[in-house]
C-alpha cells in the first residue's frame, strides 16, 4: 500500500473514514509495526537481504516524527515528500522476487462507522 499512488490509496477506504488519519495509520504505523519491528528476524530468516534491510530502514525513517500537517488529504495527494516515499517503496518491491499488484487490498480490515 505504501507504494500505491494516492488515488489507489484513497480508493481502498470507505467514504466515511477520515482518509488522512487512516492512510497515516495504515502506511506509517502498520509499516513500522509489521516490517521494521521485525526487520532483524526477517533478515535472519532470509526473507529479506542485506541490501533490502537499509532500504526498508530508510523508508521507515521517512515517516518518523511527521507532524499532523504531514498527513492531510492535500499533502497525501500533492506532497513531494510522500511521492518520494512511494517511489522508494516501489523500488524496494522490485528487489523482491515476487510479483506485486499495483492495486493492493486491505480487505482483512473491517471499518466501522461511529456516531460523532
Quote the cell numbers at residue 68: 499532523
Does the residue 101 lie in any domain? Answer: no
CB atoms within 10 A of CB 4: 20
The answer for residues whose C-beta is within 8 angstroms of residue 5's C-beta and 6 or more apart is: 86
**φ, ψ for residue 71, nearest 5 deg:** -105, 30
Whether residue 8 has pLDDT greater than 80: yes
Does the residue 1 lie in any domain? Answer: no
Domain extent, residue 20, equals 6-94
Instruction: Give me the percent of the chain exceeding a pLDDT of 70.
Output: 89
Which tens digits make up the pLDDT trace of 49-85? 999 999 999 998 988 877 777 788 888 899 899 899 9
Judged by phi (left if over 0) then psi (alpha if -120 to 50, else beta), residue 2 lies in alpha
Predicted pLDDT at 108: 67
Does the residue 100 lie in any domain? Answer: no
Averaging pLDDT over each range in 15-19, 22-26, 43-47, which range is the top one? 43-47
Does the residue 106 lie in any domain? Answer: no
Does the residue 108 lie in any domain? Answer: no
Number of domains in the chain: 1
Does the residue 54 lie in any domain? Answer: yes
Amino acid at each position: 500500500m505504501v507504494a500505491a499512488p494516492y488515488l489507489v490509496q484513497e480508493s481502498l477506504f470507505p467514504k466515511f473514514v477520515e482518509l488522512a488519519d487512516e492512510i497515516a495509520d495504515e502506511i506509517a504505523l502498520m509499516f513500522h509495526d509489521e516490517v521494521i519491528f521485525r526487520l532483524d528476524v526477517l533478515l535472519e530468516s532470509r526473507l529479506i537481504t542485506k541490501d533490502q534491510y537499509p532500504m526498508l530502514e530508510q523508508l521507515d525513517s521517512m515517516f518518523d516524527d511527521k507532524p499532523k500537517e504531514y498527513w492531510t488529504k492535500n499533502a497525501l495527494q500533492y506532497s513531494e515528500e510522500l511521492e518520494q516515499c512511494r517511489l522508494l517503496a516501489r523500488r524496494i518491491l522490485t528487489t523482491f522476487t515476487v510479483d506485486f499488484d499495483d492495486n493492493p487490498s486491505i480487505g482483512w480490515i473491517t471499518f466501522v462507522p461511529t456516531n460523532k
